[in-house]
Each structure stands twice: as structure tokens, then as C-alpha cells.
Amino acid sequence: MQLILKIEYAAFLLLGIMAFAQTGLSWWWFAGLFFLPDVSMLGYLAGPKAGSYFYNLFHHFGIAVLCYAAGMYSGMLHLEVAGIILFSHAAFDRIMGYGLKYPDHFKHTHLGKIGK
């Protein structure tokens, strides 16, 4: 099952890359912004409950798709790109085994424990 999930998330990452290619922006933007969603881990400075909330907010596929759709609908390229980056980054994290966090501990995710 793990392999199937990784293949699915790799397809999501490829979809994000293809969406970014349609923006016409330089690939330096993609590379430079790709790890920006990880700033949300600073929420863990306030404890695991706050940390998981902010981490999950910036790593949720639904939020990413909403940002992208809002950007497309409104013609706001920066919002569209934000959605693409969030989506692509979340897919990459899932490939690496980092799932959405439970509020008890950073290593407790919907994909299982990190670093078993």
C-alpha cells in the first residue's frame, strides 16, 4: 500500500509541476518557494497542538486547490502560484512520509509514525 500511495503522490507532484509550467514564470520561483510552506512548523514553538494546526493548514491538498482555484477565477497569479506551491510541496512531503500531523506529537501523522 505504501508504494501505491507514493506513486499517487508522485503523480500529484507531477501535476503541480505541470500547472506551474502553465504560469510562464521562471523556474527559479518554483525552486525558491518550494519549501516555504515548512515555515508553518514554527507553530510547534507554541506546542504540538498549535504546531499541528498550522502545519496541517499549509500542507492540506484542499487548501491548496482552493488557493489555486481562487487565483484562476480572480486572475490573481500570485494566489494561483501559492496554490500550486502548496499542492506540490504537500505531495513531496507525502512522498517523503510526512503526513498531516496529529496534535499529540510531530512524529504522529496520518501516514503513520515518522522514523519507525
CA–CA separation, 80 and 23 (whole Å): 9
Mean pLDDT of the chain: 93
Residue-wise pLDDT for 84-114, tens only, equals: 999 999 999 999 989 899 898 878 788 777 7
Give the model's pLDDT for residue 116. Answer: 62
CA–CA separation, 102 and 33 (whole Å): 25
Give the model's pLDDT for residue 1. Answer: 62
Taking residues 8-33, what's their average pLDDT? 97
pLDDT at 11 > cutoff 90: yes
Nearest to 95 by CA among 113, 111, 107: 111
Give domain limits for the chain: 2-107
Give the model's pLDDT for residue 81. Answer: 98
In contact, 103 and 54? CB cutoff 8 Å: no
Which H/E stretch holds residue 112?
strand 112-113
Give backbone dihedrals phi and psi of 112, rounded to 5 degrees, phi first: 115, -175
Residue-wise pLDDT for 38-89, tens only, equals: 999 999 999 999 999 999 999 999 999 999 999 999 999 999 999 999 999 9
**Residue 76: how many other CB atoms lie within 10 Å:** 13
The three three-digit cell numbers of residue 86, written as one number: 502548496
CA–CA separation, 107 and 109 (whole Å): 6
Maximum alpha-carbon separation in the chain: 44
